[in-house]
Structure 1
Amino acid sequence: MVRVVGSTVSRAGAQARFLARLALLFVLAAVVALLAVSGIGGLLILPVGVAGLAVTAAGIWWVLSRRGVVRVAAALLALAAPAGVVVLYAWANLWPAALTSVLLLAAAVACMRAALGRVRPHGRSHAIRATEGVRPRNPVLIMNPKSGGGKVGRFGLVEKAEEFGARVVLLDTTVETDVAEIARQAVAGGADLLGVAGGDGTQARVAQVAADHGLPFLVISAGTRNHFALDLGLDRDDPARCLDALTDGEELRVDLGMVDGRAFVNTVSFGVYAQIVQRPEYRDAKADTALAALPDLLLGYSGSALDARTDDTRLETPQAVLVSNNPYARPEPMTAGGRRPRLDGGTLGVVAVRVTTAAQAADVALRGSRADALHVLTTPRITLDSEAETVPVAVDGEALRLPTPVTCTIRPRALRVLVPRHRPGTMKATQPVDWRAILTIALGRTTS
């Protein structure tokens, strides 16, 4: 048995070395492609592309932070910069070299991640460990008939849930309803599972009741964006498939974020975005409302200044802070994208940004999380304060005002989520590109 394990480890190491060396070969080939197709002039492809990206980012910054003629001119600049790069590549016949180089570098990155996956096998499978789910006898599902443009009715969720033996509570959307109180009443009536067909904000409120009572929780992806369902691997195109968990499910233990005693399953936003969503006109005219408000908010002429602190970090006057229930793979949540590789890491993700000039905007576009204006960190607790008595907060997309200071924490593995055994969107964790580790592997040395 020892020889078999050793042979397996040795084979994985050999594969990692081969892939690491292949990755370096692809990188070298990309450089050669630039030189071979266009000579020394081919090396201009990179600086020209970088310059185009920087000018585009600066133009976008001026669009967001200025009004009137300056905004129009900046929009034209942001559009003209990438077009100019393409025209220059075509005029100088550089586009074949650029395309070849991009493809070779993409192949290099794929080989790097595969090599790291051989020596760090934990990165190749979904991070949340599933256990056998217990079939509920008295499940209660709360459904919002208006959520997601009427997905509850469109997919026949009420009828299908009742076929599985669930009791369905349809929310009356004409009046303000306390879904947490409905969930507590269901628990008092003997519910042994709570579920929600609705948006992430509704999911969070019922999830908190389920966690407090130690009950399993069922997510039905009937919201608009369904970020929580996405990271659980659930089918967002057919929410009815989520109901399969009632008869053939498995259980995931995931973390629950908390902001001043209120649960969140995805994110809490402070600063610019949170202030914009407070405006009553935002729901009907999101883009126009944001463009009208952003110049004053970004340049500090309106809104309340924030300070944020963790146990070992202080962030002074960020324009926007996004706190997530576990960190995202990249700081894409600031633009409403991205996924979380795991939901049971026991830590909050924090992305804070403070951009006041076009140069800083360009730096963020070029260097990402390494830019001085962008802070990406993890922490079990973060507190945000302001001179104002209350600050606007967006909790899973819902607009609130909370008294300062506001503290975000996390409850590790507090929520029992019952999910279908077969989930189409289960995420495979990918290894981040680590050049130093690749060089180490390629040289035949060990890496951690």
Structure 2
Amino acid sequence: MSRRWTARLALVTGLAALVVLVLFGGLASLLLMAVGWAGLVLTAAGVWWMLTHTGWIRVLAGMLVVLAPLAVLLLYSAAGLLWVVLASLALWALAVAAGSAALAEDGPGMPERSAERIEKPFLIMNPRSGGGKVEKFGLAARARELGAEVVVLDPERPQDVAELARRAVADGADLLGVAGGDGTQALVAAVAVEHDIPFMVISAGTRNHFAMDLGLDRQDPSRCLEALTDAVELRVDLGYVHEGEPGEGNTKNDGNTGNTGNTGRVFVNSASFGVYAEVVQSPAYRDDKAGTILEMLPALLTHAAGSRLTVQADELALDGPQAVLVSNNPYQKGDSAGLGRRERLDSGALGILGVEVSSAAEAAGLLLHGRQGRGLTAATAREVVVDADAPSIPVGVDGEALVLSTPVRCRIAPGALRVRVPRHRPGVPRAAAPMDWRRVRKLALTMGRAATGRGAA
């Protein structure tokens, strides 16, 4: 369907959502809308109180989270208008989805270059990643058939994957690749950058954020192996996280963490600070994730525990955010959560998301308004400095839990990594755009006139 007709669909279904509500709800439709908004606000407030309190207050807040939406549904049902509300919401959701799709634009995409011939590819595969995708899809055997040397990691004997990659390069490897999680991808990608050789991603992890933003097939990781035979090359950015003041000369190397002193630790996706980083550091987190989160959140969200962060990035300054995410290229603005995917990986800028919520009202606003909510800050920068009232802070780097000396500096290295990808791959979708009904209306009407010759001057 063309963008013009998609925009028209958005207008028609949006109007239909209002017509259904008013026609079948009558004057009661205004009351229904007010009740619905009130239910959302109470639910959001209940979530905030449940996360920031313990004991009987948490119990009452949990009851509010359950009872508020249930009461709204019962009121709708008692009025005989539940089907009206559900139908209107379904039509409105379709309208917003169609409008967003119509406004999405086909960007130029990341430039592709001809891939050089490779003679000795070296691949590292983690059999535990993604619930056993390496074995499920026969990745090791298939890669060997295509001429690659493959090392399948032993889950019972932890190995330094960066050192494995360096030895392979010393033995003549002219391509490094990983079938595993994003953290492992980052460690080996750093070695590929050191030696300026291509890097290959095999989407065998659980979430595969990096693979997704490269346009690779996440459902069938074996298709990524096509990069060994029919490939193009992309130049993408890398994020680096450094600990301590610049020029301190810290040259420690802690093996699997990938710290190499002043060169920093590479991240292909993100470095997270604050609540999430603090929680995953807890020894109890691995055995009881939900319980650990509920136990630690009240103190962390209210600044009764954990470090108080400050963030400086160009003109942006944040004082006391509960959570900060620094990403290798910004996430799409059209995504309500801001964490769906990145439009490209070669913009030369870090993405910054900071969460600073101090009350139930701000929590409700964040739920209702998403990225436009008062408690969420989104920006871009070439360098981000995160400091704290402590000599060291927990940092989550591509899912790996680290503790780094403050201040922690994140920077972007434009075009640092050569990534070899299959010539034919699912690809990155159109760049998402914030919903704008005026633009949707203009797109539906103006393009229609132009198509029939009426839009000419």
Q: Same fold (TM over 0.5)?
A: yes
1:345-374 Cα offsets, whole Å, 9 max, x none, are 221111111122211111111112222211
- Residues 152 and 380 of structure 1: is their aligned pair in 2 closer, same or farther, counting only changes over 3 Å? same
Tell me the CA shift for residue 189 of structure 1: 1.7
Specify the code of the residue in structure 1 equivalent to 2:356.
Answer: R
Specify the code of the residue in structure 1 equivalent to 2:280.
Answer: V
- Residues 273 and 107 of structure 1: is their aligned pair in 2 closer, same or farther, counting only changes over 3 Å? closer
Specify the code of the residue in structure 2 equivalent to 1:61.
Answer: W
Counterpart secondary structure, 1:134: coil
Tell me the CA shift for residue 113 of structure 1: 3.8
Which residue in the other structure is 2:82 paired with? 95
**Structure 1 CA distance for aligned equivalents of residues 6 and 132 of structure 2:** 49
Tell me the CA shift for residue 323 of structure 1: 0.9
Specify the code of the residue in structure 1 equivalent to 2:166.
Answer: R
Tell me the CA shift for residue 193 of structure 1: 0.6
Tell me the CA shift for residue 410 of structure 1: 1.0
Q: Which runs of 5+ in 1 are unaligned?
A: 1-11, 118-122
Which residue in the other structure is 1:9 paired with? none
Structure 2 residue 433 is matched with structure 1 residue 431:
yes
Structure 2 residue 234 is matched with structure 1 residue 232:
no
Contact 1:331 1:376 in 2 (8 A): no
Tell me the CA shift for residue 150 of structure 1: 3.1
1:10-47 Cα offsets, whole Å, 9 max, x none, are xx9xx74x765664454333323221111111122322
1:210-263 Cα offsets, whole Å, 9 max, x none, are 123221111112222222122223232332221121112222222111111211
Which residue in the other structure is 1:368 paired with? 370
Which residue in the other structure is 1:356 paired with? 358
**Structure 2 CA distance for aligned equivalents of residues 304 and 338 of structure 1:** 28
- Selected match of 1:69 from 56, 77, 88: 56
- Selected match of 1:339 from 341, 344, 359: 341
**Structure 2 CA distance for aligned equivalents of residues 149 and 116 of structure 1:** 37
- Selected match of 1:180 from 159, 162, 165: 162
Tell me the CA shift for residue 103 of structure 1: 3.6
Which residue in the other structure is 1:208 paired with? 190
Relative to the length of structure 2, the TM-score reads 0.86
**Structure 1 CA distance for aligned equivalents of residues 130 and 15 of structure 2:** 49
Give matches, 1:350-429, under 5 Å: 350-424=352-426, 426-429=428-431
Which residue in the other structure is 1:265 paired with? 268
Which residue in the other structure is 1:51 paired with? 38
Counterpart secondary structure, 1:46: helix
- Residues 400 and 154 of structure 1: is their aligned pair in 2 closer, same or farther, counting only changes over 3 Å? same
Counterpart secondary structure, 2:177: strand
Specify the code of the residue in structure 1 equivalent to 2:411.
Answer: T
Q: Choose 224-233 or 50-59, whichever is displaced more.
A: 224-233
**Structure 2 CA distance for aligned equivalents of residues 141 and 265 of structure 1:** 18
Specify the code of the residue in structure 2 equivalent to 1:77.
Answer: L
Structure 2 residue 216 is matched with structure 1 residue 220:
no
Counterpart secondary structure, 2:431: coil
Percent of aligned pairs with the same amino acid: 54
Counterpart secondary structure, 1:394: strand
Contact 1:249 1:421 in 2 (8 A): yes
**Structure 1 CA distance for aligned equivalents of residues 235 and 98 of structure 2:** 33
**Structure 1 CA distance for aligned equivalents of residues 41 and 196 of structure 2:** 51
> How many positions carry a matched residue from both structures?
426
1:164-193 Cα offsets, whole Å, 9 max, x none, are 100112334444432222212222221111
Tell me the CA shift for residue 436 of structure 1: 4.0
- Residues 27 and 171 of structure 1: is their aligned pair in 2 closer, same or farther, counting only changes over 3 Å? closer
**Structure 2 CA distance for aligned equivalents of residues 426 and 314 of structure 1:** 32
Give matches, 1:8-23, under 5 Å: 16=4, 23=10
Tell me the CA shift for residue 439 of structure 1: 5.1
1:81-111 Cα offsets, whole Å, 9 max, x none, are 2222222222112233323323433343355
Counterpart secondary structure, 2:415: strand
Relative to the length of structure 1, the TM-score reads 0.87
Structure 2 residue 311 is matched with structure 1 residue 305:
no
